[in-house]
Structure 1
Amino acid sequence: MYLKIDDLSGPQVAELVREHLQSMVLQSPPESMHALGLESLKKPEITFWSAWEGDELVGCGALKELDSQHGEIKSMRTSSFHRRKGVAKGVLQHIIEEAKRRGYQKLSLETGSMDAFEPARKLYIGFGFQYCEPFSDYVEDSNNVFMTKKL
């Protein structure tokens, strides 16, 4: 698997982001959904990576700079055809390494509190993330949990 910074212009990437958004709509109430669409992911403070095996898109993830010391993980997604193959671990490791390279002191994320998000929460805990209070512009919400990792 290799990752590359992506401009989100390719049809495979657009489809994976669409799949991600559709899944979030099905699992989260609208007021609790913080997934980003294509245009929002193109903002200058966000770096988006696509993950590939040959010419097949297997996953994606993004890093949003909140400030010079703090980053946020966004849009982590494994293609439904490539689950349980280590894609998410590889993307997450890449994002953590990039956050360290940038000199961030902390990396945070928001994810769902429902059962469907348990695999994601276990992944983040396995990488040393801990539950925390809402950060940035987030507010307390029973449908979401917030996690952070000191780098």
Structure 2
Amino acid sequence: MTITIERVETPVPAVSEFITAHHAELVGTAPPESCHALPFERLLAPGVRLFAAFEDDRAVASGALATVDDDHEELKSMRTDPGMRGRGLGRMMLTFLIEDAARRGIRRLSLETGSDDFFIPARTLYAGAGFVECAAFGRYLPDPHSTFMTLSPVHSMSPPKPAHTR
């Protein structure tokens, strides 16, 4: 399985369909006013960096980073194709997004995810990467259907390179 992660800056039908399927999966996990997933067009807006993982030409994972303020971004639209779950694609995308933020000097990453049992795997993934629960941030209001998490400081998840000694 060869997976490539690419930034998506223009409408790509495979990614649009993937995000639409993401929204369909979320129906019933919370009332509409508590659903905060961005439609595909908003993921292409200024201030948002959308990425998709592809196997051949098929989108198999997605994730985005949206500006909250100068050194704070929000993780958005994390999804793995249901038929590909359990293969590490979510962790791969999350690591990629954390690395992207760290390279650009972002000091804090936050996210909103559901509190429904459907989201237990997502919350477990985020906690495993160092995210901790926090209060609502940015434009969010406290909501019993939401779990807010944050990672600060943001740092590279790659192992440090060995120092060269003489």
TM-score normalised by length of structure 1 = 0.96
Matched residue, 1:23: 25
* Corresponding residue of 2:39: 37
Secondary structure, aligned partner of 1:3: strand
User: In the alignment, which residue of structure 2 is the partner of 1:53?
Assistant: 55
Q: Which of 104, 113, 117 is the equivalent residue of 1:111?
A: 113
Displacement after TM superposition at 1:57 (Å): 1.5
The match for 2:65 is 63
**What is the CA–CA distance in structure 1 between the aligned matches of 2:25 and 2:60, rounded to whole Å?**
16
C-alpha RMSD of the superposition: 1.0
CA deviation profile, 1:38-69 (whole Å, cap 9, x unmatched): 11111100010010122222111000111121
State the identity as a percent. 42
Structure 1 stretch displaced more, 3-12 or 111-120: 3-12
Deviating 4+ runs (over 2 angstroms): none
* Code of the aligned partner of 1:13: V
- Decide which moves more: 23-32 or 71-80: 23-32
Q: Distance in 1 between matches of 2:100 and 2:9?
A: 17
Equivalent residues, number: 151
What's the CA shift for 1:129? Answer: 0.2
Match of 2:159 in 1: none
Which aligned pairs between 1:74-85 and structure 2 lie closer than 5 A? 74-85=76-87
Asked if 1 retains the 8 angstrom alpha-carbon contact of 2:71 and 2:108, the reply is yes
The equivalent residue for 1:94 is: 96
Question: 1:147 and 1:119, CA in 2 relative to 1: closer, same or farther beyond 3 A?
Answer: same
In 2, the alpha carbon distance for the partners of 1:89 and 1:38 equals: 22
Match of 1:138 in 2: 140
State the 1:8 CA deviation: 5.0
Aligned amino acid, residue 131 of structure 2: F
Give the Cα separation in 2 of the matches to 1:6 and 1:42.
8
Secondary structure of the residue that 1:27 maps to in structure 2?
Answer: coil
Q: 1:2 touches 1:53 (CA, 8 Å); kept in 2?
A: yes
Q: Which has the larger radius of gyration?
A: 2
DSSP 3-state at the match of 2:83: coil
Q: TM-score, normalised by structure 2?
A: 0.88
